[in-house]
Structure 1
């Protein structure tokens, strides 16, 4: 587990920029919050590895709440902000892994 600002990021071998044992490339720096527990994880595999419950995506009716976390600058992004700018952090301009868009349905309800 890593702490970024006042948020904890849970997972397996999480580094200071939220990379993990499953996704550790330069641009793998976006942690996502799950609807089931409200916790941030670097990826769905980390959730499955350390949580004691089934994962649920962030609910659509809460897309205006912080549901993503930039591992570079620590900015909290709402689900809508994360989906609107899926490849860069709107706060620092840092790049995220463009392949993450293929997994949006695992993280955000209805995507």
Structure 2
């Protein structure tokens, strides 16, 4: 059997990228809880708006989203809730930051 090593390497990299994206998305969904709190399911391909500029989520980078803004050549790294709006079936929805539990000693 003649197997092209370059093809194997490419397939392996695609598999690793898929696993990384899936893990990042699971973390983002669990940590920020936007689906339960705001009706937003963060995923690859979702339309977003930041600073009034629209784009599409094309990848993840840890807890950040890589967004290909309309008309731009390169994707930008954006935080999931910082000034982000997500397009849903009901229109654009602002992503509110996750509530932070009070730290010990904090005033009520």
Coarse TM-score class (shorter-chain normalised): under 0.3
TM-score by length of 1: 0.27
Which has the higher relative contact order, 1 or 2, with Cα contacts under 8 A spaced 6 or more apart? 1
TM-score by length of 2: 0.27
Higher strand share: 2
Larger Rg: 2
Higher helix share: 2
